Every structure is written in C-alpha cells, then in structure tokens.
Structure 1
Amino acid sequence: MTDAFIDIPGVRNFRDAGGIGALRRGVLYRSGSFHTLTEEGARRLKSLGLRTVIDLRSEFELDVWPDQRYDLDHETLGLPTLPPHPKGSDRPWPEDQAALYPFMASTAGPSLAAVVRRLAAPQSLAAVVHCAVGKDRTGLTIAVLQSLLGASEAEITADFLLSNIGLGLDKGPTPYVDETGTERLSRPVDAELLVSSLAWIHDRHGTIPGYLHHHGATEAEVEAVRANLAN
C-alpha cells in the first residue's frame, strides 16, 4: 500500500493528498467521514495539526452520521457537493457512476469555490476534505485542488484510484447500508469517471480557475491557495 495512507482508527480511506505537482505533504488530507472516529483516531488527527474539516456530505447524512470530535478543536465546514434531496425523492442523484461524475461537476461549483475560499486562509491548514467514504465527492474536490497546484492528469488520476485500495474495492464491489437504511453496492472507481468530471468543467469553463471564478472564487483566492499549499 502506498505511503500516502495514514492509519486513523475509525476513519476510512484517510490519506495525504500531497506529494504531486507542487502540493506539499502534510497540509491537505482526504478521507471518509469521522462518524466512527475513535479516541485514538482523534489523538492521531490532533498530531497532524488538523485545523479545518471540510465535509461534503448532505445535511441528511450529517443528521444520520454526525462526525465525532472528542477534544479536537478544528473548524468544520459543511459544503455539500450535491444538491439537497427534493421532496418526494430520497435519491435524486444519478445511481449510475458514469452519469454521477458529470452531474457532480455541474453541481459542485459553489462548494468548490467555498473550499478555495477557506483554504486561501493560512490559518486553515492542515485541512481534511471528506464525504462518506472519500471516493466520489472527495475525489472530484481533491482533483480540482491538485490541478490548481500543477499536478498532471496522470498524477491526479493515480491518486484518485487509490480509493479502490483504501476501501477494499480493488477486489470488486462491496455492499453497504446508506444513510436511508437501504443496502447498496459501493463500486470501484476508474480513470474515465474522473476524466468525465474534469472534461465537463473544461468544456464549459475552459479551465479549472475559470470554473472557480464563475462560482465566485476570486483570482486572489486561487493564488492564495496555491501559495498556502505549495512546496
């Protein structure tokens, strides 16, 4: 297993997002949710200097599976990647992974701009971005940040695919119970999924910064993120 993974008891798929492009190690992490975080896990998070947790889950997920904190004093920001569930539907989001990734790109702009705004502040680091298991919503968010720091598509994709190892999906789909109590299958990710999200952004906005600017992130904020996260 790659040395990007860090053992945080009670947190799945926790790893350092740095070490590619100009993004340095020890400032930006990615993971699944903290709802089963243990006291030992909290101690290890504290040793990383964690100051910001960016939670990409829906309000409903937060109600069902709130993050555990123990004595951690980080700031938590809830910045949902996907829109809220409309009345009369408990799963409005595409079930098919191939459809989900462009859909995420189409809805994640405000969340991603807010992520940039937060990470533009020097006191925000170290930060962790997480969703439920750190695979899809987290995958897109981290890919955008790594792209801002000059990582190549090949590097970004290789990091994205590590979630298959971190979640045990390298052996195939695994069952899980979602926030509504429904049993579903968690499926491995492949490179084409992330590429489809990034292609959606480039087709409509030209560049990642252009996409972020469209949703309210300023050039100064984008540059501040680069400065804060760079080697």
Structure 2
Amino acid sequence: MTDLVPDRWLTFDGLTNARDLGGLPLEGGGRVRPGVLLRTESLEDLSPGDVARLTGDLGVVQVLDLRKDEELVVYGAGALAEAGITVHRLSFIPDTGRALPELGEDTDPMVGHYLGYLGDRAVNVVSGVRRVAERETGATLVHCAAGKDRTGVLVALISSAVGVAREDVVADYALSATRIEALFRRWTAGRGEPMPPEEDLDRHRPRAEIMQTFLELLDERHGGPVQWLLDNGLTEDELVRLRTRLRDDDPA
C-alpha cells in the first residue's frame, strides 16, 4: 500500500476534511490525475478566500451535494452556490422510508447504511459518477456533511472504477478518521456547543474494515463496484470517459 497522506490534503479556513483524489496510485502504474475530483465536508463555513481559491487556483466548476433536503434547509447550500458554481443535488438518503439490508450481527451497521445508499438512491449514485465523467475541464467537488460516509462511498466507487487498487481505496476512505476531532472542534466552536466525549467521536471515525466489507459485499452480490455501476445505468462510454478524465497513466 502506498503512503496516501503527503500532498493530497487541502488547507482552507472553513474546511477540515478536504483532499484531492489526485495522486492515488493506479494498478499497473500511473496515478489519479490531480485537480479533477476534490472531496470535502459541507461548505457553509467557507471564507471569501476559500471561495476564491476553489473557483480560481483549484478550478472548481461543479459541486455534487449528497446531503438530505433537511440538511440543506438547516445549513444552506454554501458559498460556492452563492458564487454561481453549479450545484447538483444528489441526496443519498431518502427523507423517509429507509429499508436497510439485513446483515450478520458481526457486521458493522455502517456497512448496511452504505449498501442502503445504493438501494435507496441508485439513480443519484450513478448520476454522481456520470457528472464527474462528463466534465471535460475543471474540477468537481463532492461533499456531504462530514465528507466521510456518503462522500466516501461515491469516491470509493469512482476510485475503483478508474483502477485504484482495493487496498488504496480503503486506505483513502480511512484517512478521514484523522480529521474527525478537528472537524468537531470547528463545528462546536462555531455553534457555541461543547465537544462530544471521546467515545462519541470514535463512533464517527471511519474504519478501514467498514469500507473493506462494503466492497467485498459488492463483489459477492453484484460482481464488484464497476459491475454495480454498469447494472444501474452507467454506460460503457461513460466508464471510458471517467477513466480518461481521471487516469494519468504516464505522470511526469
């Protein structure tokens, strides 16, 4: 497994869990192209400088917002929307009526939630992948609330589809665990609330085995992440465009 930390984290005034997918190693050589797909938490705390950097140096031209409608009402669309950047609303969770799959007692409940995204909102999941594939220039920013679960699932599917090795897909997902405490410190300070106790923070930290199990279940039940995408509406041409957009098979 490659060291995934250096040079991929992005520092902003109003974001804590922000990084570029670019730099992840590809099976057989090459890396994911930088400046194409960024992953973050929600955008309501962006400073004017953050907006200028995202829309300028980093070239963000569209946002994929995976939050529920009620989250949008409470926290707003964020400053990128106010700056005129196109925001695609692609909620991964229905507001009512979730039916999570049954799993063994030893399986972490979050695995069921991740499978639930695919069962409840397959159209939105595939649309998120399609939006990344169809952009010929500029960067896409994908976010949910904390940038770890809904965002983690979409990024894992995209990473798998373009040829990132399974162990590196899992390791990238787990990187968000290192930002949970800082994320909650920023949120609670801004709202004048106390920090949650350590055991509550632990429950929010993504763990590698959750994503590993989720992807293994996709292998067993659907033939893998790529086959799930194709079975749910992604076309072969779109898959080729996604790979062309994100793969740098001969990085300098």
- The normalised TM-score by structure 1 is 0.84
Secondary structure at the residue paired with 1:53? strand
> Contact 2:100 / 2:112 at 8 angstroms: preserved in 1?
no
Q: After the TM superposition, which parts of structure 1 deviate over 6 Å for at least 4 consecutive aligned residues?
A: 91-95
Q: Map 1:13-52 to 2 at 5 A.
A: 13-20=17-24, 21=26, 22-46=31-55, 47-52=57-62
Distance in structure 1 (CA, Å) of the matches to 2:231 and 2:95: 21
Q: Is the 8 A contact 1:51 1:73 kept in 2?
A: no
Which amino acid letter does the alignment assign opposite residue 68 of structure 2? Answer: S
2:119 match: secondary structure: helix
**TM value normalised by structure 2:** 0.77
* Deviations, residues 190-219 of structure 1 (Å, cap 9, x unaligned): 111112221232222202222112221111
Aligned counterparts of 2:219 and 2:37: Cα–Cα separation in 1? 24
**CA distances 1:10-50 after superposition (whole Å, capped 9, x unpaired):** 12301111211242111111000101111111112122000
Range with bigger deviation, 208-217 or 117-126: 117-126
The range that moved more, 47-56 or 191-200, is 191-200
Match of 1:83 among 50, 71, 94: 94
Superposed CA offset, 1:48-107 (max 9, x none):
000011011111111111132266332110111122224xxxx98799435323333433
Q: Contact between 1:37 and 1:67, CA under 8 Å: does it hold in 2?
A: no
Residues 104-131 of structure 1: per-residue CA shift (max 9 Å, x gap): 3433422221012212223463011100
Runs (5+) with no aligned partner, structure 2: 102-107, 189-194
Q: What residue is the counterpart of 1:64 in the other structure?
A: 74
User: Is residue 6 of structure 2 the alignment partner of residue 2 of structure 1?
Assistant: yes
Supply the RMSD in Å over aligned alpha carbons. 3.0
Structure with higher helix content: 2
Q: Which amino acid aligns with 2:123?
A: P
Equivalent-residue separation in structure 2 for 1:120 and 1:189 (angstroms): 27
Which whole-Å CA distance do the structure 2 matches of 1:113 and 1:225 have between them?
12
1:101–1:193 CA contact under 8 A, matched in 2:
no
Indicate conservation of the 8 Å contact 1:52/1:124, yes or no.
Answer: no
Structure (1 or 2) with the larger CA radius of gyration:
2
* Number of the residue aligned with 1:136: 149
The unaligned stretches of length 5 or more in structure 1 are 178-182
- CA 1:124–1:74 in structure 2 vs 1: closer, same or farther (change >3 Å)? farther
Which of the residues 218, 225, 249 maps onto 1:208?
225
Residue-pair matches, total: 221
